[in-house]
Amino acid sequence: MQRLVLDIAERSAWTGAQAALGVAAVGVADIPVWWAAPIALMLASAKSWVAGRLVGRAGTASTLPATKDPATPPMGA
């Protein structure tokens, strides 16, 4: 259950950060607000690519360490 809560918290935090950065970017660039969604999508894709190769559990888009990632099989499994 704790792993699930951490997974939900991680996903929610990253989604909020990406949305906030998208909105901030359109404000700074003075472009229409509808661009915030594609910008957030690009940020999410970039985060997933980096997480899958450099951070967290290899082969997943999670930034959680392998010991906390719900996709990691339990010890002895």
Q: Which two tokens stand for residue 59?
A: 């082969």
Total domains in the fold of the chain = 1
Q: Which residue range forms the structural domain that includes residue 19? A: 2-52
What pLDDT, on the 0 to 100 scale, is given for residue 77? 55
Q: Which residue has the higher pLDDT, 23 or 60?
A: 23
Mean pLDDT of 42-66: 87
For residues 19, 21, 23 and 28, what is the CA-based torsion angle, rounded to 10 degrees? Answer: -170
Whether 39 is in a domain gets the answer yes
pLDDT tens-digit series, residues 55-65: 878 888 888 88
Do the domain assignments include residue 74?
no
**pTM for the full predicted model:** 0.80
With respect to residue 60, please indicate whether it lies within any of the assigned structural domains.
no
Q: Is it the case that residue 75 has pLDDT exceeding 70?
A: no
Q: Calculate the alpha carbon distances from 40 to 3, 6, 23, 68, 73 in Å.
A: 26, 22, 8, 26, 31
